[in-house]
Each structure stands twice: as structure tokens, then as C-alpha cells.
Amino acid sequence: MTGFPLKTEQLSIGLIWLFHVSGILGILYGNAEWFIASTPLNLSLSFALLYLNGRTAKNFHWMLLAGFMVGMITEILGVNFGWIFGNYNYGEMLGWKVLGVPLLIGANWALLVLCTGAISRELAQHPVSRVLLGTAMMLLLDLLIEPIAPQLDFWEFDGGTAPLQNFIGWGAVALPLQLLFHSLKIELKGYYYHNLYLLQLLFFTILLLKLNS
């Protein structure tokens, strides 16, 4: 049993590389529409493996719940009232919704906070630096996704382009979540989180280049 965590991590990293690389190759050289439509499955698998790898860490479940609930509540306020992020609506690609917001979006907020928190904890020493780095990493991924979100039927802002308010809102939500992560002193061991964040950067960068070429 002493080797179980390592084997779980290795299998998890292998699976996310397989799914993401398959998606990238499929989009570039195969049936792009089919592989793009499989993005929610990829995200669901990534979230499930994140839980499997991090579930034993102290305060992991509290942070997972906080990330999910804060993400869902802020997105519900955005979709229904135009608060925080601006005026936008979700498409059908991301599946089941609660008050107009897909449950996968709440899961993605939790996933991003945990991944970027784990990485920034290792890359920076000072608590403030960790919080700012984690927030910046979350914003970077949003910057990559926003231009192609309407084409993927993820979400679309009124006018077709994400306003400055959206990015300010992202920072305003991401920063306290990062502060909570580091205040709880969550230690997520291993490299699953690093690999997942890197793969999401690669995946959406390639999608951005493909859809705008």
C-alpha cells in the first residue's frame, strides 16, 4: 500500500496527457468538431483525477467546496444580473446548469484554484507572492479561453467580446480564493497539478491558434 499514491499519480498524469494530446492531435489533424465537443468529458476526467490525488490533503475538501460554491455563486450573479463579470450567457456545450450556469464551471473554478495554488506554493516563498502568482495564473488561462469561448459554445458576452470588467472580476474572485488556499496551508504533493495546468495552457493555446487561423 505504500506505493499506492505514487501509482495513482503516475496513472492520473498519464491519463490526462493521453486525453489532452489526443484532443490536440484530433483538432489539428482529425475531426476537430468531435474533439472540441469532447472537451467537457476531458474536464470531468481531470476534475475526478484531481479529487483522487488530493483527497487526503488537509483542508482539501474545504477548499474544493469553497472554490466550487464561490465560482457558482459569482457566475450565477453574472449570468442573471450582469454583476462581477459583465453580461453573458452560457451555451449548451458544458452540460447541466443551475440558474443558467453549468455545474462544470463551478468544478473548473475549484480545479483552477487548487492547481494554481499548488504550483504557486512551490514557486514562491512569500505568502503575498504566492497569492499574486496564483491569481495571475488563473487570469492567464481565462485570457486564452475568452476569445474562443463563443466558437466552442461555452459562453458568449453581449457584443461578442469579453469586456475589461470580466478580467477585473476574475481577479477580484481569484485573489481571495488564492488567499484562502494559502491561509489553509494546503499541501498538495506530487506533480499532477503542474501537468494539468500545463496541459490546459497547451490545449487552449492550440485551440486559439486553430480557430483563428
Cα angle at 191 between 190 and 197, to 5 degrees? 140
pTM of this structure: 0.92
pLDDT of residue 207: 87
* Residue 26 backbone dihedrals phi, psi, to 5 degrees: -65, -40
Neighbours of 98 (CB within 10 A): 12
Domain ranges of the chain: 4-211
pLDDT of residue 2: 44
pLDDT of residue 29: 84
- What cell was used for 46? 481531470
Give the chain's mean pLDDT. 92
- Cα–Cα distances in angstroms (integers) from residue 156 to residues 78, 85, 106, in the given order: 12, 12, 17
pLDDT of residue 1: 41
pLDDT of residue 212: 78
**Cα torsion at 204, 24, 101, 169 (round to 10°)?**
-10
Identify whether the C-beta of residue 147 lies closer than 8 Å to the C-beta of residue 207.
Answer: no
Which portions of the chain are predicted below pLDDT 50? 1-4
